[in-house]
Amino acid sequence: MASKITVIGAGSVGATIAYTLSQQTFASEIVIIDINKEKVDGEAMDIVQGTAFRDPVDVISGDYEDAKDSDLVIITSGVPRKAGQTRIELAQTNVNIIKDIAPRIAAVAPKALYIIVSNPVDVMTYAFLKASKLPENQIIGSGTLLDTTRLRYGLANHFKIAQKNIHAYVFGEHGDSSFVPWSCASVAGVPMEEYTKIVNSYGKGLADFDEAAMEEYVHKSGGEIIKRKGATFYGVSMSVVNLCGMLLAAYESVTTVSTMMHGEYGVDDVCTSCLTIVGPEGVKGKVEMKLTDEEIAAYQESGDAFTESAMTAWDSVLKAVIAQLNI
């Protein structure tokens, strides 16, 4: 089914998402909105002129009124993260941007599903939910979707197997405090240590697997890319467009995205990532995996991005968000 998708923010991430969407058959109309009208005009022209190689698609440089009746709205607006800067350090600046955007877009697209990509994405998802006053099921943060993609790439490279055979996830805050619940990770349903023994018995010669090194790889990947090229946008764009496909599909999917927590794993009233059922009606619920006690503790601690106590940081950030939103 053809769908109308609006992208708010025409920076590197927003423009790349719009371009990637233009290559998908599920998008029939793409609206791009940005305060820099000249840039968004150029992005729309550049993208639409390359669409002759697919079924017709409209790519529009528009304003909020043009987003009316959108099926999906993707929000990428915000100040980009600089080298050495954490996502949480961006919170105060980008909350003000979300505060301005949320009521304006919610007024014209009240039934759309929203994907929040702006960093720090967990705080921005929470802020958008509060500022827009839309139902929780309509609001989804990209969360650890990209982290999970990085993890699967790293694991597939180690095990020398296609990524579709890797079943492992990144939970928690999209940042350095995220973690991998290794007790639930597998290669084609087989625990990783056991899988290594099996294939090595065939002479494959896999090295011992280092969980800590793999998590470090996931945590540092974004920073390493920013250090080398100034920004990350290809990986996140492909992840977000893949999520769009899930939300527009006939069947529901399970993925790691940031949504409001209601006591799962002992975490409440914050947006953070775990396995979540999503589909055409947005968020349907969460799939609570049987984590170890250590993993549950890690999940609770992941809410804390810059203080020692697990929930104190979330509380302080969210109080600041609430103060700015006057809620």
Q: Give the pLDDT confidence of 270-303 residue by residue, as tens digits.
A: 899 999 999 999 999 999 999 999 999 999 887 6
Among the candidates 141, 173, 197, a domain finishes at 141
pLDDT at residue 80 greater than cutoff 90: no
pLDDT for the residue 303:
62
Looking at the structure, tell me whether residues 21 and 103 fall in a common domain: yes
Give the dihedral of Cα atoms 266, 253, 59, 103; nearest 10 deg.
Answer: -30
Looking at the structure, tell me whether residues 95 and 175 fall in a common domain: no
Looking at the structure, tell me whether residues 18 and 47 fall in a common domain: yes
Q: Is residue 186 in some structural domain?
A: yes
Q: Is residue 315 in some structural domain?
A: yes
Q: Which two tokens stand for residue 149?
A: 């993609």
Give the 3-state DSSP-derived string for 64-75, with helices as H, strands as E and coil as C.
Answer: HHHHCCCCEEEE
Strands lying side by side in the sheet with 166-167: 166-167, 186-187, 190-191
Q: Is residue 275 in some structural domain?
A: yes
For 131-179, the pLDDT digits (tens) are 999 999 999 999 999 999 999 999 999 999 999 999 999 999 888 889 9
Look at 82 and 87; give whichever has higher pLDDT.
82
Residues 6+ apart with CB under 8 A from 289: 181, 184, 274, 275
- Alpha-carbon distance of 130 to 268, in angstroms, equals 15
pLDDT for the residue 310:
32
pLDDT for the residue 323:
64
Looking at the structure, tell me whether residues 60 and 192 fall in a common domain: no
What phi and psi, each to the nearest 5 degrees, are found at residue 5? -125, 130
Q: Which two tokens stand for residue 203?
A: 């002479």
Angle subtended by helix axes 145-159 and 234-248, to nearest 10: 110
Question: Do β-strands 282-286 and 186-187 pair in parallel, antiparallel, or remain unpaired?
Answer: unpaired
Looking at the structure, tell me whether residues 209 and 259 fall in a common domain: yes
pLDDT for the residue 313:
39
pLDDT at residue 87 greater than cutoff 80: no
CATH number of the domain that 49 lies in? 3.40.50.720
Among the candidates 105, 121, 141, a domain finishes at 141
Least confident residue range of 9-23, 50-64, 205-219, 311-325: 311-325
Among the candidates 116, 141, 166, a domain finishes at 141
CATH number of the domain that 178 lies in? 3.90.110.10
- Alpha-carbon distance of 176 to 196, in angstroms, equals 28
pLDDT at residue 311 greater than cutoff 50: no
Overall average pLDDT of the 88-103 stretch: 83
- Catalytic residue status for 262: no
Q: Is residue 128 in some structural domain?
A: yes
| pLDDT class of 326 with cuts at 50, 70, 90 | low
Looking at the structure, tell me whether residues 155 and 192 fall in a common domain: yes
* The length of the chain, given as a count of residues: 327
Looking at the structure, tell me whether residues 56 and 176 fall in a common domain: no
Q: Is residue 21 in some structural domain?
A: yes
pLDDT at residue 208 greater than cutoff 50: yes
Looking at the structure, tell me whether residues 134 and 170 fall in a common domain: no
What Å distances lie between residue 194 and 47, 188, 198, CA to CA? 47, 11, 6
User: 282: part of which helix (H) or strand (E)?
Assistant: strand 282-286
Q: Give one word for 73, left, alpha or beta, with left for phi > 0 and alpha for psi -120 to 50.
A: beta
| pLDDT class of 306 with cuts at 50, 70, 90 | very low
Number of compact structural domains in the chain: 2
From 145, 298, 275, select the one nearest 211 (Cα to Cα). Answer: 298
The percent of residues above 90 in pLDDT, for the chain, comes to 73
Q: Is residue 326 in some structural domain?
A: no
pLDDT at residue 317 greater than cutoff 60: no
pLDDT for the residue 302:
79
Looking at the structure, tell me whether residues 157 and 136 fall in a common domain: no
pLDDT for the residue 168:
97
Q: Is residue 324 in some structural domain?
A: no
Amino acid 120 reads: P
Looking at the structure, tell me whether residues 61 and 174 fall in a common domain: no
Average pLDDT along the chain: 90
Q: Which domain holds residue 98?
A: 3-141
State the catalytic residue, choosing from 158, 167, 174, 219.
174
Looking at the structure, tell me whether residues 130 and 186 fall in a common domain: no
Can you name the residues that pair with 7 across neighbouring β-strands? 32, 74
Looking at the structure, tell me whether residues 180 and 104 fall in a common domain: no
Overall average pLDDT of the 243-257 stretch: 96
Q: Is residue 96 in some structural domain?
A: yes
Q: Which string of b and e fits 211-234 if b means at least 16 CB within 10 Å?
A: eeebbebbbebbbebbeeeebbbe
